[in-house]
Structure 1
Amino acid sequence: MAAPRPAPDTMTEVPSEPSGDLRDVRDGLTSAEARERLERFGPNTLPAMRRRGPVARFLLQFHSPLIYVLLASAVVTTVLGDHVDSAVICGVVIVNAIVGFAQEARAEKALTALMAMTSTTAEVVRDGSLMTLPSTELVVGDLVILEAGAKVPADVRLLVADGLEVDEAVLTGESIPSAKDPRPLEGEVPLADRRDMAFSGTVVTRGRGTGTVTATGSATQLGLIHRLVGQAQGVQTPLTRKIAHFSRLITAAVLGLAALTFLIGVLRGQAVAEMLTAAVALAVGAIPEGLPALVTITLAFGVARMVRRNAIIRRLPAVETLGSTTVICTDKTGTLTENRMTVRAIAAGGRLYAVGGTGYAPDGDIVEMEGHAPVALDAHPALAACLTSALACNDAQITRGTDGWEVIGDPTEGALVVSAAKAGITSVPQRLETLPFSSERQYMATRHEDGAVHVKGSIERVLALCDRQLGLDDQREPFDHRAVKAVTELAEAFGRQGLRVLAFARAEAEASSTPLTRSSIPLTRLSHLTFVGLQAMQDPPRQAAADAVRACHDAGIQVKMITGDHAETAAAIGTQVGLHGEVMTGTDIDACPGDRLPGAVERTAVFARVSPAQKLLLVRALQSRAHVIAMTGDGVNDAPALKQADIGVAMGRAGTEVAKEAADMVLTDDDFASIEAAVEEGRGVLDNLVKFIVWALPANIGLGLVLVAAIVTGGELPILPVQVLWLNMTAVLVLGLPFAVEPRDDDIMHRPPRDPRLPLLPRPLVARIMFVSAILLAGAFGLFHWEQAHGASSAEARTVVVSVFAVTLATYLFNCLSLDHPILVRGVRRNPWVGAGVAGLIVIQLIYTYVPVMNDLFRSAPIGLAAWGRALTVAVVSYALVEGAKRCSTRTFAPASEHSRPGILKP
């Protein structure tokens, strides 16, 4: 703690014109009062959230019905003395658990990041002395001092504000700092308009102020968001929901079938131990234990591709969610726009000028609206005067760093510095005095060593101070009512386009001898100014934003812009990027009846002046219509909605740590176009997952059917549990890997979103799976008895069965590279991993068949060429039948092109 310093003098009331020197403030709390309140209300921190440790997270990897069945099978095989089978089963389970644990996203850190935001120091007046305290020790009633660059340590009711502006983007989404005014407000006022308050976690960008702490810790607006984050339940993705449902169905079916076959065998007089082995083989064979690993690998490859397209996935299932997204709720500032204020137009001397370039780089030309060539300042003195006043009455600087040009200071003033630099004006005479901007004055003024006074401020206040205007030929002209009306109408036209307009004026050198001091100049003294022009600026849309929005609409995905900015600005930006229609404000949301809100939200594309709680409400309203929501954001205010959404997308550059930790995906370039690219990748991953599942399931179902047939007929088991595991963890993995890198279809972004209510596998694909399973049953079961009838041993016959499954899966792989078109040769050309997978399977199967140690471990045996030929015949017949079914189908099916349901709007 720093040594106490004398506090400023006290005050009894808020002055109508804040003095700015912090005089006449109260003595603050006494140390005894502060200690008592700290003990009663607790420290100024947010409560921590309990999280699972690494051991608990690892153990949760085994929390699955499929894993329970496998573990039970391992116990049964151990009891029966089949220790090799038991070890293999346990090994498979452990490998799957390790993969799942390694790929699981990091534990939620959103609340920790929120707490870090309040870990700062504060300038506090106590016992009549100014001292520096940890913000955790602040209590309600403390008198705090706020200065430029400081983080507001708690919610503060302002008593004095001298040019005080606070960046509240993390709470409100406002793209420009909020000017503060200590005068109390009447009635209910939205958070973004509470000029008399400074909120915890925001940053002072300019000026100074004094205020009294009104709330600390969880009682602050930041604390409210903390509670919202805690209340927002992370939702399961469509894939995890469907895989979980699929797992439950498979588990129930396998357990029921295994129990039934065990009972049938015992009733037929077969040994109990033999029937237990058969039941285990059935359970192990029918459960797709390789599926979780292949799903994880496919998602991981999708993640790697997204990184190359500026999207970092923090939770693997989010990749698939992107493929099912039906609505993207996007922030405006920094996502659809550059997040860099840019002057777009200048009015000076009766002429209009367009300003080229974007951002803070001093690149771009200034041209007349009707012209194309850059203007020469010596021929446009009024333009030069306007640019000079903007640079002179300015506290910002632009610098070039490793990441490009950046502004130091207020973004709006930075835009004015850049516009002057584009015309070659980079310096002005030295400044002598400054009258800072305040919400009371609504203008800023500076006096310079050449005697000139420059003024910058709102249209209304600056025009009221002017009685002349600078003409085209640098002559001062009367500024009568007609001229004022013309300027006002022009400013209103700029405003309707979403532009922020500032007016500029100057005093003549001979009239500037009046002292420019804070104490002696009433508002009426600084008058008889010459109006020199307007500058209109905006945070411009990103160049690729409109194309990305259009691509989303072509893909049947709704795009909704949700911002804290004013309705006019939001509507203008929305129109420029292709989001048209009425604007719905936060007030409209509150006034809309709950039963009508989902429909109203679904019909609206632009939302303005929206609070954090309302963002969460919008997401829930859309989810109630069965939409899959991707929500973007960068501020603390976005964290609850990011967590509630099916997939939260945070900004990597401008985003707070709170937003990043609450999100499933982070954009490294903060660009909406990267979201569209990620959706494209997500759809490709979803396609590949469906293809893989359609390919893999016939092996499991076929194995189960072969075992059931053997038990029902009372014969010998055609395949043993350890051989089933060999197939599932070699053939399925080796041949399944090519699906993870299968290229996207060309028309992938011209399909409507997949209905999230559809089953993972629609009926046509279920029918195909059962058809191939029946082929495998007939081929494998038939050849097993054929081989035995022609003198083969049980080990040789079982090796033929394993070979039938292996080579049939290899040919069926080509069937599944496209679910509705033949793609045999083209599939190898566009995905070389297909050929590599088939070659790898051949090598592995030869090792399984002919290496003695493998024969001992898996109870296989060498077979002849004739047996291989018979197995290959089954595979070729299977391929031909599936391709024939494709050609005979009257309906072309694509996995992500289901008819969209009512409620998903199409362009």
Structure 2
Amino acid sequence: MGVSLRSAQSAEDVVGELGTDAERGLPVAEAARRLAADGPNLLPSTAPDSRFVRVLRQLSNPLVVVLLVAGTVTLALGEYVDAVVVLGVVLANTVVGYVQEARAQSALRALQDLVFTDARVVRDGATRSVPSADLVVGDLVLVEAGDAVPADGRLLRSRELRVDESALTGESAPVAKDPAVLAVGTAAADQRNTVFAGSLVTAGAGACVVTATGADTELGGIDGLVSGVVSLETPLTRQLGRFSGILTVVILGLAAATSVVGVLRGLDAGEVVTSAVALAVGAIPEGLPAAVTVTLAIGAARMAKRRAVVRQLPAVETLGSTTVICTDKTGTLTENQMTVRVVWTCAGDHEVTGSGYAPTGDVLDPAGTVLLGTAVPEALRWTLLAGAACNDAVLRRRPDGGGTEVVGDPTEGALLVSAGKAGIDTEDFPRVDVVLFSSGRRYMATLHDHGDHRVVLAKGGVEAVLALCGSQLGPDGDRVPLDVAGIARESDRLAAAGLRVLATAALTVDADHRLAEVDLPGSLVFTGLQAMLDPPRASAVHAVTSCRTAGIRVVMITGDHAATATAIAVQVGILRARSDGDVLTGADLTALTASSPTAFDGAVGRAAVFARVSPEQKLRLVQSLQDAGAVVAMTGDGVNDAPALRQADIGVAMGRGGTEVAKEAADVVLADDDFGTVEAAVEEGRGVFDNISKFIVWTLPTNAAEGLVILVAIVLGTALPILPTQILWINMTTAVLLGLTLAFEPHGADTMTRPPRRPGTPLLTASLVSRVLLVSAVLVAGTWYLFQQQVDAGATLPEARTAAMDLFVAVQVLYLFSCRSLVGPSWRVGLLTNRWLVGGVLLQVVAQLAITYLPAMNDLFQTAPVDAGTWLRIAVLATVAWAVVAVDEHVRGRRRADRGPNGVRVGTSDPPGPAARPAASST
């Protein structure tokens, strides 16, 4: 029977149906029988693929296939050093992918670790401690403050029991639990008579009968969602896969055409094979995988400096492709620390500054004056004192030195902090007696000694505390008639702002007074209201604004209540104010799902806040956005976020406050749990894609020109202007010494002001393809001119080929500077902003001089020294090629200026547009 149906049954009926005893629990023998029949209380684990299968999966990538072809070709040519280099890149990529896949699978192991604890269970009437894995349905389990709940259970009895379910439901405040019967169909997040595996008891104690273990628990359902999510390819891997596939077909087609032409011209088989191999080697960009890996690694290092730790390299670029960010509320947009923001007394609102549990901040009167110590008015002093003294929480320094934390209820911790900011001390009010909070009475009352008399203090829900009061404190500290309606209006006003409101009351009594609950109603004096919330992070507003400027839609998905979610969404800028359709609850989504998929997807496309949603609904929301063509980043910290984190194109988990399950399911972990870091990571990701685009635009003209030079030679029936070994030298040395330096290029000024790339946009736009073709044509023409001129002037074939090879490198060096900016004049990019590029050019010059003049290199690569006149001609031709590119760059710049700010940009098509509709209420 499902958990929702158990919550609708009486405790007695559940006990009877499960064949157990509410006092003695199960017999030991019966528990053993059930354990043998049903299995341990563990989440299921699936057998992973064999190592061989996982290795083959890494080798199936089209880009790796191209590399394997390149390595095989170089090996067939007898160039063993080059073959080792190319195949080494394949090996490195395979190892990295294999390790990353293994780490991703550890999410399921983290879920198992979460529930593997010891549990106190009653069997045969005796309380004993057993491993949580040995629990069975029907076991009588005892829980108290500090315990992790080991299995799902229906409460039989409780005493002031409160449970932190934020990791499972996203609700920021602990939930009060009691055994009362609930309505059929009550959502798991609202089942107050049930405790769930993976949650934490923060106060009180209780006894429950286990109703579900292992995979049948709510946590097990989330585990099933995580297991069932298929990891998606990133936009970069999809684009590289398409690019590599097209490139492979083109290369094979050109190689086949070369072979056909060679046969028709009557060349012998050896020459035909050599020519076809030379063309294939020239056209394959061997350095591309290494450049992509290095660029991603550098981006990951830059992200780490900005507090975003990357677990999988492709995630670096994926963040830059993001069109929608689905963010959790608690702990991501907010501090995950309850904070009193307003204290209301009959004198009006008193603002409380500062946030979280840090003891910094002030209490201000309605005029803005700081109130401290003896300057605190009577009504305010008693309100703060009641909140701090009628309290079971403790503030302490975090063991890791990372600030202050609360031991106990976060709400009570917030009351301690607000009193401390006004200098209110509770040491002179030692506790004598207490009436504990319960979900039935909804208040807590305490009795304290204070000098020659005693004081009764109370705090709790507004209605419950008002029922205890017969008067209230006036502006001068005197008792005045109780204004129930006025207090209720003020409470509603604060609650409408998304604040959680508590009321306080006090009464001075004789020194021999005894605390009796029956005497409390109507006897106390109302003092005031304290209104609190989990405050938004200071950086969240700026980050949301930056994302909006960058064309990224920000959506809040939380398990917390709609009013709280709406208040935070307004404060950080996701919403201007709540309006119809902007905020949807889990119940709304359930109704839309029942209506039609079209209605669901349409509502998801419009809304900006989704509150009180289940893990399944979070997953469905991410899938709906992806089906609409969005590249989705999902942030979260709880177990309930794990399925959506894994489904999203990029999962971002909180490193400090997040569960291990969320971290293991994510691609990126934020070291500071700050949404502002997500915005910084998006900027780094966009810069990574820009630099990869620069490398591709730089390297392809050379590869295309090398292949075309060979093809022209076969068509004309002349000697090859450049040999396969020389082509490999050019490709490998320039890729490492020149091309990889583009990975260190700084971000452009427009990185976070342009729209995101639209999903499906190719790596090379039409504008960039035309530039590649232009440079290739210039290289082919220049190479043939120089080669023929050298031959006509009486140079030997090795000398002419060396001159052609040196021209290729010289053009690549000058063209490298043009590729530093693909959206504006390259001369505006400061030379020393990338010192790696300057160093790489110098090393390339040294390497080219070595292959030209060192005898050992001449013998190995069939090169020969060239004279000064040849170098002059090379310099002139390289300069002409650079000038052609500069003119083309100027013309394209004028066209972009004519089109305005929405012109062609790196990685976007013409014209770019929003990848997803913004929320109707977004500013």
Structure 1 and Structure 2 fold alike (TM over 0.5)? yes
- Match of residue 358 from structure 2: 361
- Does the CA contact (< 8 Å) of 1:377 and 1:423 recur in 2? no
The 2-side partners of 1:75 and 1:684 are apart by 34
- Other structure's SS at 1:432 match: strand
Structure 2, gaps ≥5 residues long: 1-8, 13-20, 897-903
1:675 aligned residue (661, 673, 678): 678
- Match of residue 588 from structure 1: 588
- Does the CA contact (< 8 Å) of 2:153 and 2:210 recur in 1? yes
1:419 is the counterpart of 2:448:
no
Could you tell me which amino acid in structure 1 is paired with residue 696 of structure 2? I
The 2-side partners of 1:345 and 1:337 are apart by 17
- In the TM superposition, residue 126 of structure 1 has moved relative to its aligned partner by 0.8
1:192 aligned residue (189, 197, 200): 189
Change (3 A) 1:619 1:66: closer
- In the TM superposition, residue 377 of structure 1 has moved relative to its aligned partner by 3.8
Task: Compare 92-101 and 34-43 and name the one that shifted more.
Answer: 92-101
Could you tell me which amino acid in structure 1 is paired with residue 321 of structure 2? S
2:905 aligned residue (890, 894, 899): 894
- Match of residue 818 from structure 2: 815
- Other structure's SS at 2:846 match: helix
- Match of residue 616 from structure 2: 613
What are the equivalent positions in structure 2 for 1:247-258 lying under 5 Å apart?
A: 247-258=244-255
Change (3 A) 1:817 1:31: same
Change (3 A) 1:874 1:492: same
The 2-side partners of 1:692 and 1:409 are apart by 55
Change (3 A) 1:68 1:714: farther
Change (3 A) 1:809 1:381: same
- In the TM superposition, residue 172 of structure 1 has moved relative to its aligned partner by 0.5
- Match of residue 551 from structure 2: 556
1:89 is the counterpart of 2:101:
no
- Does the CA contact (< 8 Å) of 1:62 and 1:97 recur in 2? no
- Does the CA contact (< 8 Å) of 1:627 and 1:756 recur in 2? yes
- In the TM superposition, residue 842 of structure 1 has moved relative to its aligned partner by 0.7
Change (3 A) 1:198 1:308: same
- Does the CA contact (< 8 Å) of 2:721 and 2:800 recur in 1? yes
- Does the CA contact (< 8 Å) of 2:393 and 2:408 recur in 1? yes
Could you tell me which amino acid in structure 2 is paired with residue 192 of structure 1? A
- Does the CA contact (< 8 Å) of 1:452 and 1:512 recur in 2? no
1:120 is the counterpart of 2:124:
no
Structure 1, gaps ≥5 residues long: 1-11, 16-23
Task: Compare 67-76 and 535-544 and name the one that shifted more.
Answer: 67-76
- Other structure's SS at 2:510 match: helix
- In the TM superposition, residue 364 of structure 1 has moved relative to its aligned partner by 1.3
Task: Compare 857-866 and 678-687 and name the one that shifted more.
Answer: 857-866
What are the equivalent positions in structure 2 for 1:489-568 lying under 5 Å apart?
A: 489-510=489-510, 513-516=513-516, 521=517, 526-568=521-563
The 2-side partners of 1:678 and 1:40 are apart by 50
2:714 aligned residue (711, 714, 721): 711
Task: Compare 420-429 and 136-145 and name the one that shifted more.
Answer: 420-429
- Other structure's SS at 2:825 match: coil
Alignment length, in residue pairs?
Answer: 877
The 2-side partners of 1:66 and 1:716 are apart by 32
- In the TM superposition, residue 813 of structure 1 has moved relative to its aligned partner by 1.0
User: Structure 1 length normalisation: TM-score?
Assistant: 0.93
CA RMSD of the aligned region, Å?
A: 2.1
- Match of residue 746 from structure 2: 743
The 2-side partners of 1:585 and 1:825 are apart by 51
- Other structure's SS at 1:749 match: coil
Could you tell me which amino acid in structure 1 is paired with residue 442 of structure 2? Q
Could you tell me which amino acid in structure 2 is paired with residue 694 of structure 1? V
- In the TM superposition, residue 147 of structure 1 has moved relative to its aligned partner by 0.8
CA shift digits 1:720-745 (9 cap, x unpaired):
22222211111122111231111111
- In the TM superposition, residue 404 of structure 1 has moved relative to its aligned partner by 1.4
- Other structure's SS at 1:469 match: strand
Could you tell me which amino acid in structure 2 is paired with residue 101 of structure 1? V
- Does the CA contact (< 8 Å) of 1:162 and 1:438 recur in 2? yes
- Does the CA contact (< 8 Å) of 2:59 and 2:94 recur in 1? no
2:840 aligned residue (834, 837, 842): 837
Task: Compare 526-535 and 325-334 and name the one that shifted more.
Answer: 526-535
- Does the CA contact (< 8 Å) of 2:757 and 2:915 recur in 1? no
The 1-side partners of 2:773 and 2:212 are apart by 64
Percent of aligned pairs sharing the same letter: 50
- In the TM superposition, residue 92 of structure 1 has moved relative to its aligned partner by 1.4
- Other structure's SS at 1:449 match: strand
What are the equivalent positions in structure 2 for 1:267-346 lying under 5 Å apart?
A: 267-346=264-343
- In the TM superposition, residue 315 of structure 1 has moved relative to its aligned partner by 1.2
Change (3 A) 1:379 1:700: closer
- Other structure's SS at 1:235 match: coil
CA shift digits 1:119-140 (9 cap, x unpaired):
1011111111111000101111
1:43 is the counterpart of 2:40:
yes
The 2-side partners of 1:298 and 1:383 are apart by 59
2:103 aligned residue (98, 104, 107): 107
The 1-side partners of 2:261 and 2:830 are apart by 45
- Match of residue 236 from structure 1: 233
CA shift digits 1:788-834 (9 cap, x unpaired):
23222222222222211111011111211122432237441432333
CA shift digits 1:286-306 (9 cap, x unpaired):
111100101111111111111
What are the equivalent positions in structure 2 for 1:713-732 lying under 5 Å apart?
A: 713-732=716-735
- In the TM superposition, residue 640 of structure 1 has moved relative to its aligned partner by 0.7
The 2-side partners of 1:75 and 1:751 are apart by 42
Could you tell me which amino acid in structure 1 is paired with residue 335 of structure 2? E
- In the TM superposition, residue 63 of structure 1 has moved relative to its aligned partner by 2.9
CA shift digits 1:523-544 (9 cap, x unpaired):
x755411111111111111111
Task: Compare 367-376 and 469-478 and name the one that shifted more.
Answer: 367-376
1:651 is the counterpart of 2:654:
yes
Could you tell me which amino acid in structure 2 is paired with residue 693 of structure 1? I
- In the TM superposition, residue 444 of structure 1 has moved relative to its aligned partner by 1.1
1:876 is the counterpart of 2:879:
yes
- Other structure's SS at 1:88 match: helix
- Does the CA contact (< 8 Å) of 1:625 and 1:903 recur in 2? no
- In the TM superposition, residue 420 of structure 1 has moved relative to its aligned partner by 0.8
What are the equivalent positions in structure 2 for 1:60-75 lying under 5 Å apart?
A: 60-72=57-69, 75=72
- In the TM superposition, residue 274 of structure 1 has moved relative to its aligned partner by 2.1
The 2-side partners of 1:829 and 1:75 are apart by 40
- Match of residue 433 from structure 1: 433
The 2-side partners of 1:70 and 1:379 are apart by 75
- In the TM superposition, residue 70 of structure 1 has moved relative to its aligned partner by 5.0
Could you tell me which amino acid in structure 2 is paired with residue 895 of structure 1? V
User: Structure 2 length normalisation: TM-score?
Assistant: 0.92
The 1-side partners of 2:420 and 2:75 are apart by 80
1:143 aligned residue (140, 145, 151): 140
- Does the CA contact (< 8 Å) of 1:814 and 1:827 recur in 2? no
- Other structure's SS at 1:445 match: strand
